[in-house]
Structure 1
């Protein structure tokens, strides 16, 4: 490949000198004859030589540059990649959540017995007061004890 790139570059340089020489010779001939039709066709031929010249030089140089870059890359020592440290977040405690619905059926409490109140007359002052049967209570006026018998 390197040999091919040198051939392309050498042909490009030779064609460039030939085109330059041809341009000078054509310029001298057309200036002496004064013919515009002949000079136009000759100048078209000259430009047809310059395009291949440029292409030969360009691709010859490009091939050599790519080869040089490959050689430089091959000659450099290969760096060992650093090991990648994987940082993991701290483990989280798993919390189990459960919804527990406990239905507790309880027996209703027995209804309290209605207390029977009895009207009692105070022996000290004669006032009347309602007292629950089987209990005693003081009189509201004189403070004497009132007992209801059930």
Structure 2
């Protein structure tokens, strides 16, 4: 069974738009609220693009408001231009950098989503540690990312329990402890290349499905 892959694009919530709108009313408060908004979610790959984009637009709004203030306070156009140039360097340069960083973060996460999709739907990997090796991510990041994919219906309905991804529609048989899955005489061997474990019979040679290292019982 496969699920059509929804293209990922980080989006603002109503609260994010409220923060951006607040910038044009009282930008110092908007900057503080935006900071508290992004700190708890920065560890989530799915929010990094949104966080950078949110801060970018808050900085842009701050630039617009400060420009208006300088325009009203300046006695000459030359004075306004000098003050506005300094403010542009302080705020508009970070705006451009943050918007570029947002696009890069979304692009990186889209690539990571395709890796997860291939690992789960095609290779049928179920152990978080194994998926983490394939994606080159920490297990905690993998758990957050897979929960996001399940929530957004990028994967079939399932849940993660004890380091195992349980998707009933893909894995009809319940996951049993490793010992009960082994044939008599077989044993679980750790790969010397990547550390993944695999079940192998006595005197058998098997290629590790994660890194290609030859494993000998």
**TM, length-normalised to structure 1:** 0.42
**TM, length-normalised to structure 2:** 0.30
Where is the helix percentage greater, Structure 1 or Structure 2? 2
Larger Rg: 1
